[in-house]
Amino acid sequence: MTQDTVISIFQQTLELLVLLISMMLLPALAVGLLVSMFQAATQINEQTLSFIPKLLITLATLMLAGPWMLQVVVDYTRRLFESIPALIG
């Protein structure tokens, strides 16, 4: 196994990680922005008003996209395990 192979595997892993994290963060960021605009317009400065919607949208996103995310991780792991003989030899 060469250094280029290790870097390639690490790069693919990081790309997968960014994809999965962005699936969770982007909806929470959008809801946080909307709640912040609502708070600025109404001058309500309640911390739980910001936290609860982000928590709920994150849980909803996890419920909806969770099976797809799990399938992506399982496929990547399967490909990685199947490529072990080619990487060693």
Other C-beta atoms lying within 10 Å of the C-beta of residue 18: 11
* Residue 15 contacts residue 86 (beta carbons within 8 Å): no
Residue 12 has pLDDT above 90, yes or no: yes
Locate the domains of the chain by residue range.
Answer: 3-88
Residue 1 has pLDDT above 80, yes or no: no
Which structure tokens are listed for 77? 């792991």
pLDDT digits (tens, 9 = 90+) for 43-84: 888 878 889 999 999 999 999 999 999 999 999 999 999 998
Residue 19 has pLDDT above 90, yes or no: yes
Query: What local confidence, expressed as pLDDT, does residue 48 receive?
Result: 80
Which structure tokens are listed for 38? 């609502």
Which structure tokens are listed for 58? 């994150």
Query: What local confidence, expressed as pLDDT, does residue 2 receive?
Result: 85
Query: What local confidence, expressed as pLDDT, does residue 89 receive?
Result: 73
* Residue 30 contacts residue 60 (beta carbons within 8 Å): no
Mean pLDDT of the chain: 92
